[in-house]
Amino acid sequence: MAARHLIIFACALLICVQNAYSLTCYQCEKDACKAELSKESNCTTEKDVCFSLSNPKSGNVMERGCKTKDFCEMYASCKTCTSDFCNSTPTILPSFLLIGVSAFVASRFFRE
């Protein structure tokens, strides 16, 4: 009985864990960045950071994607980061919902 609970809990936990083998960034150019039409892009090992390049006058994002860590040295209004989807401000509600549901299910199974 305990083994079944452990397997269910492990499966729920694995659903919450993201793939750590590659960095995933938002990718867009020009107007697509304004319209929140960013695509997801899996970075290669050569392109090891996510970046966000903004127009220095307006502050509007002109480009997002994957680049090498020294890419932003050429631009004053460029930022790099190294975690998945860090080059935007996506909603985190789905992740919290998934973790909350998993915790609820796990608590029901481990109640004896």
Specify the pLDDT at position 50: 96
pTM over 0.95: no
Report the residue count for the chain.
Answer: 112
CATH superfamily of 19-89: CD59 (2.10.60.10)
Segment 10-57, tens digit of pLDDT: 555 556 554 445 899 999 998 888 776 679 999 998 999 999 999 999
Inter-residue long-range contacts of 27-32, CB under 8 Å, 24+ positions, other chains counted: 27/64, 27/65, 27/66, 28/61, 28/63, 28/64, 28/65, 29/62, 29/63, 30/62, 30/63
- Per-domain residue ranges of the chain: 19-89
The Cα 102–Cα 75 span in angstroms is 43
Tell me the H-state helices in the chain.
2-16, 31-34, 93-110
